């Protein structure tokens, strides 16, 4: 069993319901499953699109990284994502990213772990740290909360009740 963290995001349709459904489906593959609170964020990169809802899920899995990626892609498709019909980093019903797979470092053409953008994205770091406040980057050994402290404001806010205030007073 390997500890994993996955990023979940949506900005089309009922994003909250889609993230909850993705979590239910992911829990079939991941034991000790936990999900952060929801976070609302402004779109980055392609900014002319609706705000996103984001969350991070974590738990343990016996799936290989490749099998986990296949399961995530299948769930995205079942929830309405058609990768061939959207602009990269554009609006989507569901996005599931493998953020961390234990302390493994994976560099393949279609699978990079740790996720290459996670250190610069508050919409990933805030929910990640909500679940695992002392987690470190397997590449650098630095705590993810140190990366968070260096980032400028990015327009991300709790979308409803959050444990953020208790973790970071």
The verdict on whether 92 is a catalytic residue reads yes
Among 20, 48, 83, 97, the active-site one is: 97
The verdict on whether 95 is a catalytic residue reads yes
For 7, the 3-state DSSP assignment is strand
Q: What tokens appear for 2 in the block?
A: 């390997």
Helix pair angle (15-26, 65-78), 10° resolution: 140
The verdict on whether 82 is a catalytic residue reads no
For 19, the 3-state DSSP assignment is helix
Among 25, 40, 95, 145, the active-site one is: 95
Among 20, 48, 51, 92, the active-site one is: 92
Contacts with 116 (C-beta within 8 Å, 6 or more apart), sequence order: none
**Which residue's entry shows tokens 């400028």?**
152
The 3-state DSSP composition of the chain as helix, strand, coil percent (nearest 5) reads: 30, 25, 45
Given a contact cutoff of 8 angstroms between Cβ atoms, the answer to whether 94 and 83 are in contact is no
The verdict on whether 81 is a catalytic residue reads yes
Among 25, 81, 119, 145, the active-site one is: 81
Q: How far apart are CA 78 and CA 102, in angstroms?
A: 27
For the annotated catalytic residues, the residue numbers are 81, 92, 95, 97
């Amino acid at each position: 069993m390997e500890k994993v963290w996955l990023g979940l995001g949506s900005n089309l349709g009922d994003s909250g319901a889609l993230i909850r459904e993705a979590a239910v489906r992911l829990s079939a593959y991941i034991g000790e499953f936990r999900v952060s609170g929801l976070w609302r964020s402004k779109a980055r990169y392609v900014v002319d699109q609706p705000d996103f809802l984001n969350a991070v899920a974590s738990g343990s899995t016996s799936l290989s990284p490749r099998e986990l990626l296949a399961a995530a892609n299948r769930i995205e498709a079942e929830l309405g994502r058609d990768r061939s019909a959207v602009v990269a980093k554009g609006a989507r019903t569901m996005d599931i990213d493998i953020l961390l797979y234990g302390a493994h470092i994976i560099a393949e053409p279609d699978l990079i772990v740790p996720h290459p953008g996670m250190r610069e994205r508050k919409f990933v770091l805030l929910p990640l740290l909500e679940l695992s406040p002392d987690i470190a980057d397997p590449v650098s050994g630095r705590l993810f909360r140190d990366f968070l402290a260096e980032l400028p404001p990015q327009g991300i806010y709790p979308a409803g009740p959050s444990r953020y205030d208790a973790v970071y007073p």
